[in-house]
Chains A and B, each alone.
Chain A
């Protein structure tokens, strides 16, 4: 178990290192001279040279990389040439917003996906199963950014129940929730479909397993068989799948934030692509990749805790 964790952490660190190199090289491969992008509208060649020296752009790439990563490790991700703000500070403001959005979406997905998945498995082959499974497939097929636009049309324009877009900080919780509700539901629906489908198939597998038959034979109530024995084992699969979907959730957040004008890191990514704000883009991609690698590591570790067979290296089977 310890060896497994250490090995897993080692791989994550290596991946993280290569990812930083990719981000670094990638941002430098963007079209246009970064010095021009960082300067005022019509900078003289001398001013450009000054910017290159100031940001170390005149140095060889490996030196630039070491400088950049050294600063990044100390929490200095440079300044945005567009706003003049520190990239790190901007990220500190924006990461929690995206985090809130994705957590709420995850909650929506779990609250919708797990009960419906269980229901579809327990009532396999009935109308309920059929409706649930088809709806889930529909949920997977509908592009969520379009769903976002339809939601705005219905709930904001026609009914006027919810604000169409924008963001209010958590200091006023009720208004915050009002603004976050539509984005979270839109983002969560696709994941809910995935969770439901996984829950259904995992549950079907569990319900057919020997230990469930044993539990039934012991005379346990159906509720306890389904709710305790089968559910616990099915959750292992669902945790893994939710973990694998984190990337999709972050991808979804990019578009959802764009539609509902939520000032998270997704919107920051797109804004910095279009304003050629390279330090911000570099920072946001770096933070996203790091967060994603860490989350995957945690999911793997959680998986090994939930599934004893991995923990003891197969001895239990």
Chain B
């Protein structure tokens, strides 16, 4: 927040690495577009109830399957006459909750576990690695569908299912990074100095494994958003009448011949969201990787 766009300084003085990264990021137009997209989607999710032109759940049987631009409906209406734009806006909430929250949930659980496995090794590592292997032996969606089926279909359970499916990847990364870093001299020196393990893990190891974790997070979020859409498409996520992009798509499937816009817009919403996260993530990866290399 401290760096504001200023006049170009005549001579480069000492620049913080954060400032340097920020400038490197700004030089990538696609990454900046991605960031803008992410901010926009988050804003829509936060403000949906206030900025949506209609009540997202109010049906109007006199305006069923209206094409875009008719009767004051910018994107048209759905099979029970609800305003598509409003439903898309409110649906952003469910998608971001399941997509973003699940990734952070996975991160919060996986990082300490993975770090402990890499740091203490031995029995903890063996158990953690085996459990990770097992979870990874189920394809992402089969696992998520299975978990959602066990827990029952709801937004919270879809989020939990998506979080559990993402944990192994983060565990693997945290473990692998710590395993390598723990042999570094500065870590060994702390151990010899008698620093408590907690301090070493938090002060010396955690800051140094953040970059790969951030990169994996930006890869995981769009994947989880699509996963959330798939679960709600299959009827295992948000339950009607709460709007979700996946549910809208599955409702739209049967009207594909007569009302193609109905199936088009929810997909566009998903694609814009995931593309924004992917563009942002790609830029972030380039910026962070360079710093890692230097």
On whether the beta carbons of A293 and B137 are closer than 8 Å, the reply is yes
Q: How far is the CB of B179 from chain A (nearest CB, A)?
A: 17
Q: How far is the CB of A159 from chain B (nearest CB, A)?
A: 13
On whether the beta carbons of A251 and B130 are closer than 8 Å, the reply is no
On whether the beta carbons of B275 and A138 are closer than 8 Å, the reply is yes
On whether the beta carbons of A153 and B256 are closer than 8 Å, the reply is yes
A137 to B218, CA, bound (A): 13
Within 8 A of A (CB), among B276-290: 278-279, 282
A269 to B274, CA, bound (A): 26
Interface size class of B (residues with CB under 8 A): 35 or more
On whether the beta carbons of A153 and B150 are closer than 8 Å, the reply is no
Report B-chain residues with C-beta under 8 Å of the C-beta of A140: 222, 274, 278
On whether the beta carbons of A269 and B142 are closer than 8 Å, the reply is yes
On whether the beta carbons of B130 and A270 are closer than 8 Å, the reply is no
Query: Does B149 interact with chain A (Cβ within 8 Å)?
Result: yes
On whether the beta carbons of A143 and B274 are closer than 8 Å, the reply is yes
**Could you say which of B233, B274, B279 contacts A145, with CB atoms under 8 Å apart?**
B233
Task: Closest B residue to A154 by CB, please name it.
Answer: B260
Stretch among B17-25, B60-68, B189-197, B265-273 lining the A interface: B265-273
Mark contacts of A245-266 with chain B using CB atoms, 8 A cut-off: 1 yes-contact digit, 0 otherwise. 0111011101100110000000
Report B-chain residues with C-beta under 8 Å of the C-beta of A125: none
SS of B interface (majority): helix
**Could you say which of B142, B263, B278 contacts A254, with CB atoms under 8 Å apart?**
B142
Interface size class of A (residues with CB under 8 A): 35 or more
A14 to B146, CA, bound (A): 21
On whether the beta carbons of B235 and A285 are closer than 8 Å, the reply is no
A149 to B262, CA, bound (A): 11
On whether the beta carbons of B145 and A149 are closer than 8 Å, the reply is no
Q: How far is the CB of B266 from chain A (nearest CB, A)?
A: 7
A258 to B30, CA, bound (A): 34
Report B-chain residues with C-beta under 8 Å of the C-beta of A138: 271, 275
Query: Does A61 interact with chain B (Cβ within 8 Å)?
Result: no
On whether the beta carbons of A273 and B149 are closer than 8 Å, the reply is yes
Task: Closest B residue to A249 by CB, please name it.
Answer: B139
On whether the beta carbons of B274 and A141 are closer than 8 Å, the reply is yes
A19 and B134 in contact, given A29-B150, A152-B256, A157-B256 (Cβ under 8 angstroms): yes
Query: Does A292 interact with chain B (Cβ within 8 Å)?
Result: yes
Report B-chain residues with C-beta under 8 Å of the C-beta of A16: 137
Report A-chain residues with C-beta under 8 Å of the C-beta of B263: 146, 149-150, 153
A134 to B134, CA, bound (A): 35
A142 to B266, CA, bound (A): 11
Query: Does B226 interact with chain A (Cβ within 8 Å)?
Result: yes
A246 to B30, CA, bound (A): 29
On whether the beta carbons of A26 and B256 are closer than 8 Å, the reply is no
A252 to B252, CA, bound (A): 20
On whether the beta carbons of B253 and A149 are closer than 8 Å, the reply is yes
A193 to B249, CA, bound (A): 23
Mark contacts of B103-145 with chain A using CB atoms, 8 A cut-off: 1 yes-contact digit, 0 otherwise. 0000000000000000000000000001101101111111001
A-B pairs with beta carbons under 8 Å apart, 29 shown: A15-B130, A15-B134, A18-B134, A29-B150, A30-B150, A140-B222, A140-B274, A142-B271, A143-B226, A145-B230, A149-B252, A149-B253, A150-B267, A153-B256, A157-B256, A248-B139, A250-B141, A250-B142, A251-B139, A251-B140, A251-B141, A254-B145, A255-B234, A273-B149, A285-B142, A289-B137, A289-B142, A292-B137, A293-B137
Sorted nearest first, the 9 A-B pairs with minimum C-beta distance are A251-B141, A146-B267, A141-B275, A247-B139, A250-B139, A141-B274, A273-B149, A18-B134, A15-B133
